[in-house]
Amino acid sequence: MNWMLLLLLLPLAGAALVAFMPEKSARQVATLVTLLCCVPFLAMVGQFDWARSGVDQFQTTAVWFEPLGLSFRLAADSITMLLVGLTVLLGPICVVASYTAISERQKTYYAWLLVLQTAMTGVFLARDMVLFYVFFEFTLVPMFVLISLYGSTNRKYAAVKFFLYTFTGSILTLAGLAYVALEAARANGFWSFDFEALKTAARGMTFDQQKWVFIALMVGFAVKVPVFPFHTWLPLAHTEAPTAGSVVLAGVLLKLGTYGIFRFALQFTPVAAYEYAPALAVLGVVGIIYAGLICWVQSDIKKLVAYSSVSHLGFCVIGLFALNGVGLSGSVMYMINHGLSTGALFLLIGMIYERYHTREFKKLGGLASQMPVWSTFMVFFAMASVGLPGLNGFISEFMCLLGTFQAGGTTWTEFGMIPGRFGDASLLPGATFGNLGPWFAAFAAVGMVVTAIYILYMVGKIVWGEFKAPGHSAHAHNHAKGHGHDNHHGAAHADHAHGPLPRDLSGREIAVLVPLAVACLWLGLYPSPVLRTLEEPVAMVVTQVRADVLRNAQAALPADPQTADAHTPALLQQAATITEPGRR
């Protein structure tokens, strides 16, 4: 029983089914299908060998397009399992959260949401580069449909900008992948886009080639993450998307970019990644602080949370480019945690929007008095987002910062002396090989303060203080806020300012938030099972990067024995005997 194929095909079948069902039952079918998806995932969890979490398991191969060497290849290692788990968790949550938000053209909505689920799962499971690219690109279409049909006022522009920006970036990624495939074809004599084959070929490229391939690959992923100068699509897309769209965008789609960096940019072009780590980390830190400052001056809550995504993912990026065990593990954890907490924040904002049809700070305030349950969840997830110890955000943020801090040293490792960039961190105990250092961590930590400022400011204004909401000050709130769907709510709003929904959260809404809250709490208090599963794949990547950097450094050493370091013969000997653990 191929659980991965089932995970991919089930939502597609569900989408087809929804297309033929009557409008009323579309949401039930969608809920059922997304809940059913948990079954193959749990089966995979059961069958996965957690002791060898770095090895690709459940490998599935089929021929797709022979003349180009494309194959349909799926596999899962622990990182994939975690991210697929996030997707599978957010699937039913998004569907159930949309029950009241979408009242028109429901079939189209749920069908595309299910297709999006397949596409996202496929990205994480794919082990053929073109297949990865296919799923990566294919997430654009459902998102485009969801934003442009069901979004708020500026949805057209947001959807088009999102699509074009991301598409442009990923075309350049495709060019990079095609180049790597070309190198592999030259080395092997036949064309294949298999991940392992391409990885071997890519790591064998010269530094100049790796440099350009790295830039090409990073352009696409940097737009997706988004890294600082390429982030302008995100606030627009997030604010204009419907609630479930924002949740899945922030929760999973942004992780496609960071996953891509982890899986491809770092593993295909390790030497170039090492060389450019400072540059990328600078962009990350700028993103953290700049986006954080913008959050502080926002007047729209959703936009605030959207910019906070940019800020948070800056931490993820610097963790990735720390290129050590702590940083990479922290970065992967960050992906999961950010998905959980920011997804929940968007859900909460969506619930407010359904009731009061506004997201402005000026119009909302002191909701704790009217909506205590909502407020509890709001504070909880806001604290998770800030990084309060005890909740999940703290673990990942701390690990990313620690990894960055440590990654500076000129260090002696079992591979010999590996040059670092910002020298004196080598004197610190625990410093690892890497190209970043304490300064990066220091600036990023400033970002932590900024995060706290804007989150607390937001929470303070909205949750506490004097109660104000539209409909209590003015009865006729303007429907010109504009939904993508109809204004039936207008008639029903005659007596309740918060529409047909209960004043506080309904049972369904609580049911949607509870799993996220439980996950946040559990990952905050007891993250070690997850961290343990991450050890092996992260160690594999770190070892590969170190080995390649050392090999590159050796190649650049002068051959003259007089000027060479006294330890060079030993280094060369060690370099010759490098074997990478994890290759079985």
Partner 1 sequence: MNNVIAQLWPEIALFVTTCLVMVVGLSKDRGTRKLCAPISAIGIIVAGYLAATTSVDTATTLPFMAKYGKVLAAGVGLLLLMLMAGTADRQLEDAVDRGEKFEPLRSTRAEFYAFFLFSLMGLMLCAGASDLIFLFLALELTSLPTYVMVALSTRRDRSMEAGVKYFFLGAMGAAMFLFGFALIYGATGSTALADVAYTIQNRAAGTGSIGPLALTGLVLSLLGVMFKIAAVPMHFYTADVYQGAASSVTAFLAFVPKCAGFFAIMLLVGCAGWAFGPDGYGSGTALPPELRILLWTIAVLTMTVGNVLALLQTSVKRILAYSSIAHSGYMLVGVIAGPGPAESTLASNGLAAVLFYLLTYGVMSVGTFSVVAALERRRRATAADAAIDEVDHIDELRGLWKRQPHLAAVMVICALGLLGLPPLLGFLGKLPLFTSALGAGEIVLVVILGLNSAIAAAYYLRLVSVPFLESGEPSTPDAVVPTPFPSRALAGVVAAVLVVVAGLAGGTLGSHAERAGTFRFPTKTMEATRHASQPTSTVSVPPDAAERGPNAR
* Least distance CB 236 / partner 1 (angstroms): 15
Instruction: Please give the radius of gyration of the chain, using alpha carbons only, rounded to the nearest integer.
Output: 24
User: Which two structure tokens, joined as six digits, stand for 491?
Assistant: 């008639």
175 binds partner 1 (CB under 8 A): yes
168 contributes a contact to partner 1 by CB under 8 A:
yes
Smallest distance, Å, CB 163 to partner 1?
6
To the nearest whole angstrom, how small is the minimum distance from the Cβ of residue 532 to partner 1? 36
Question: Least distance from C-beta 287 to partner 1, angstroms?
Answer: 23
- Closest among 31, 5, 2, 3 to 18, alpha carbons compared: 31
- Count of residues touching partner 1 (by CB under 8 A): 37
Which residue number, 212 or 467, has a Cβ lying nearer to partner 1? 212
Give the contact letters, 101-140, x = binds to partner 1 (CB under 8 A), - = no: -----------------------------x--xx--xx-x
What's the min distance (Å) between Cβ of 139 and partner 1?
Answer: 11
300 class by beta-carbon count within 10 Å (0-12 exposed, 13-18 middle, 19+ buried):
middle
Interface with partner 1 includes 560 (CB under 8 A)? no
The residue within the footprint of partner 1, chosen from 13, 52, 191, 485 (CB under 8 A), is 191
Residue type, 528: S
Report the nearest approach of partner 1 to the CB of residue 68 (Å).
5
Q: How far is the CB of 501 from partner 1 (least distance, A)?
A: 27
Q: Are strands 70-76 and 57-65 parallel, antiparallel or unpaired?
A: antiparallel
- Taking the least distance from each CB to partner 1, the nearer of 73 and 338 is 73
Residue 179 CB, shortest distance to partner 1, in Å, is 5
| Amino acid identity for residue 437 in this structure | G
**Between residues 169 and 287, which has the closer beta carbon with respect to partner 1?**
169
Helix, strand, coil abundance in the chain, percent, nearest 5: 70, 5, 20
Closest to partner 1 by CB, 211 vs 421, is 211
CA–CA gap between residue 259 and residue 247 (Å, rounded): 18
Q: Give the Cα separation of 316 and 17 in Å (integer).
A: 38
Query: Which residue's structure tokens are 């770092």?
Result: 266
- Per the CB < 8 A criterion, the answer to whether 117 and 91 are in contact is yes
H helices present in 464-503, as ranges: 488-492
Reading the block at residue 170, the tokens are 């990923």
| Residue 178 backbone phi and psi in degrees, to 5 | -65, -35
**Rounded Cα–Cα distance for residues 166 and 136 (Å):** 10
CB of 86 to partner 1, least distance (A): 23
Distance CA 191, CA 197 (A): 10
CB nearer to partner 1: give 174 or 364.
174
Site string for partner 1, 206-245 (x = CB under 8 A): ------x---------------------------------
Cβ atoms of 463 and 375 closer than 8 Å: yes
Least CB distance to partner 1 at residue 10 (A): 18
Site string for partner 1, 50-69 (x = CB under 8 A): -------------xxxxxxx
Pick 47 or 168: Cβ nearer partner 1: 168
Cβ of residue 254: shortest distance to partner 1, in angstroms?
20
- Piece in contact with partner 1 (CB under 8 A), picked from 5-13, 144-152, 417-425, 509-517: 144-152
Buried b (16+ CB within 10 A) or exposed e, 173-197: bbebbebbbebbbeeeeeebbbbeb
**Beta strands of 21-85 (E only): which ranges?**
57-65, 70-76
Closer to partner 1 by CB, 55 or 174: give it: 174
The distance from CA 267 to its chain's CA centroid, rounded to whole angstroms, is 18
Give the nearest distance from C-beta 452 to partner 1 in angstroms: 39
Which of residues 80 and 192 has its CB atom nearest to partner 1 in the complex?
A: 192
Which of 487/574 has CB closer to partner 1? Answer: 487
Out of 30, 101, 181, 281, point to the residue binding partner 1 (CB under 8 A). 181
* Contact between 79 and 262 (Cβ < 8 Å): yes
Closest CA to 223 of 240, 237, 211, 212: 237
In the bound state with partner 1, the residue whose beta carbon lies nearer, of 164 and 557, is 164
Q: Shortest approach of partner 1 to residue 240 CB, angstroms?
A: 14
Closest approach, Cβ 553 to partner 1, in A, equals 27
Residue 133 contacts residue 264 (beta carbons within 8 Å)? no
Contact flag: residue 182 with partner 1 (CB under 8 A): yes
181 versus 304: smaller Cβ distance to partner 1: 181
The number of CA neighbours under 13 Å toward the Cβ of 219 is 17
Q: Which helix (H) or strand (E) holds 407?
A: strand 407-409
Contact flag: residue 323 with partner 1 (CB under 8 A): no
Q: Count CB neighbours of 570 within 10 A.
A: 12
Nearer of residues 44 and 216 to partner 1, judged by Cβ: 216
Task: Specify the stretch interacting with partner 1 by CB under 8 A; choose among 153-161, 307-315, 499-507, 575-583.
Answer: 153-161
CB-CB neighbours of 70 under 10 Å:
20
Q: Return phi, psi of residue 540, to 5°.
A: -60, -45
Span of 165-173, 239-247, 274-282, 351-359 interacting with partner 1 by CB under 8 A: 165-173
Q: Which stretch binds partner 1 (CB under 8 A): 3-11, 169-177, 518-526, 536-544?
A: 169-177
Contacts with partner 1, residue ranges (CB under 8 A):
63-69, 130, 133-134, 137-138, 140-141, 144-145, 148-149, 156, 159-160, 163-164, 167-168, 171-172, 174-175, 178-179, 181-182, 185, 190-191, 212
